Amino acid sequence: MSKKACKNCKRIVMKGSMCPVCKTADLTSSFQGVAVIFDVNSEIAKKLNVTAPGKYALKV
């Protein structure tokens, strides 16, 4: 299975058909860029509106 990004929260989903963060099935394989977030209090996490650590798409 290829990587997909959630259209709602931009989380990259490696397997399955549901986003583990926002629990939606609205995924797409068309995304650009990847940001790996370790600290949800970082400036990048705040700009991306990230609430959980993980891999996120920059543009969906």
Query: In the predicted model, what is the mean pLDDT of residues 6-10?
Result: 95
Query: Residue 2 has what pLDDT?
Result: 83
Note down the domain range covering 22: 4-59
Query: In the predicted model, what is the mean pLDDT of residues 3-9?
Result: 95
Which amino acid, residue 34? V
Across the chain, mean pLDDT equals 94
CATH number of domain containing 39: 2.20.28.90
Q: pLDDT tens digits for 23-47?
A: 999 999 999 999 999 999 999 999 9
> Is residue 7 classed exposed, middle or buried when 0-12, 13-18 and 19+ CB atoms within 10 A define those classes?
middle
Instruction: Work out the percent of the chain whose per-residue pLDDT is above 90.
Output: 93
Query: Residue 1 has what pLDDT?
Result: 55
Tokens of 30: 């068309």
Closest CA to 17 of 8, 30, 27, 3: 27
Q: Number of structural domains, the chain?
A: 1
